[in-house]
Amino acid sequence: MSSENGKRLLETDAGCLNFEATELTLGLPGEPRVTSDGGAKLGSKRGFSETVDLKLGDNSQEVKLGHSLQEAAKSPASKTQVVGWPPVRGFAKRGKKSCKYVKVAVDGAPYLRKVDLEIYNSYQQLLTSLEDMFSCFTIRNYLNEKQIDQVNGIEYMPTYEDKDGDWMLVGDVPWQMFVESCKRLRLMKSSEAVGLGLKTAPKYSSTN
């Protein structure tokens, strides 16, 4: 997907949406929204608190929209890609040659999943994907629970184990650093995640 496609999508959407308002940006409130390469690469992300409040099984429209905007503008394509260069066999045929798989555990779920962190470009994409992955579980969970909270769903805090063995909150560090250091993911029930110092808003740059 080239950034040209992305631009086209944004242009047609501008007529029916207030694009500025829905554009997701990374960083603290009040920071400028300009990305380092002039917008060719949409490095915008949600603010931290929005990212972390994962509502599994909840069809939040905002989340879906943000996801599709991100998808459309995913690849940087700062140089036009030349056919067959570099000459790596199988890449074009089979898609990404390598991957970074980590196990994902969800508290209360009987099964593990695994995700390939390499296919995502941002926390938003990852978390949206996890929502999709576990929504049917959550629905089943709804059926099992006597008390069903229809409005908010069950809240989970996404946490991960880094290469030093520490459990951290997802969103603490820049995306690429997270991909490199994450060994496994765990979606912890919010009620249990008290001790991880959630309330501090972390600082990270506006680039990917």
> What is the C-alpha separation between 55 and 73, in angstroms, rounded?
25
Q: Is 94 in the site for other proteins (CB under 8 A)?
A: yes
- Burial of residue 27, with CB atoms counted within 10 A of its CB: 0-12 exposed, 13-18 middle, 19 or more buried: middle
Q: Is 164 in the site for other proteins (CB under 8 A)?
A: no
Of 158, 89, 163, the residue nearest 127 (C-alpha): 158
Between residues 55 and 184, which has the closer beta carbon with respect to other proteins?
184
Of 142, 171, 170, the residue nearest 154 (C-alpha): 142
Q: Is 81 in the site for other proteins (CB under 8 A)?
A: yes
Between residues 12 and 78, which has the closer beta carbon with respect to other proteins?
78
* Contact call for residues 150 and 184 (beta carbons, < 8 A): no
- Which position among 103, 145, 152, 197 is part of the footprint of other proteins (CB under 8 A)? 103
Between residues 79 and 146, which has the closer beta carbon with respect to other proteins?
79
Q: Is 92 in the site for other proteins (CB under 8 A)?
A: yes
CA angle 1, 46, 180 (to 5 degrees): 70
> What is the C-alpha separation between 99 and 115, in angstroms, rounded?
9
Omega cis (within 30) before 110: no
Q: Is 29 in the site for other proteins (CB under 8 A)?
A: no
Number of residues that bind other proteins (CB under 8 A): 37
Between residues 17 and 102, which has the closer beta carbon with respect to other proteins?
102
Q: Is 110 in the site for other proteins (CB under 8 A)?
A: yes
Q: Is 91 in the site for other proteins (CB under 8 A)?
A: yes
Q: Is 8 in the site for other proteins (CB under 8 A)?
A: no
- Burial of residue 181, with CB atoms counted within 10 A of its CB: 0-12 exposed, 13-18 middle, 19 or more buried: middle
Min dist CB 55 to other proteins, Å, is 23
**Interface ranges with other proteins (CB under 8 A):** 76, 78-79, 81-94, 97-103, 105, 109-114, 116, 118, 163, 180, 183-184
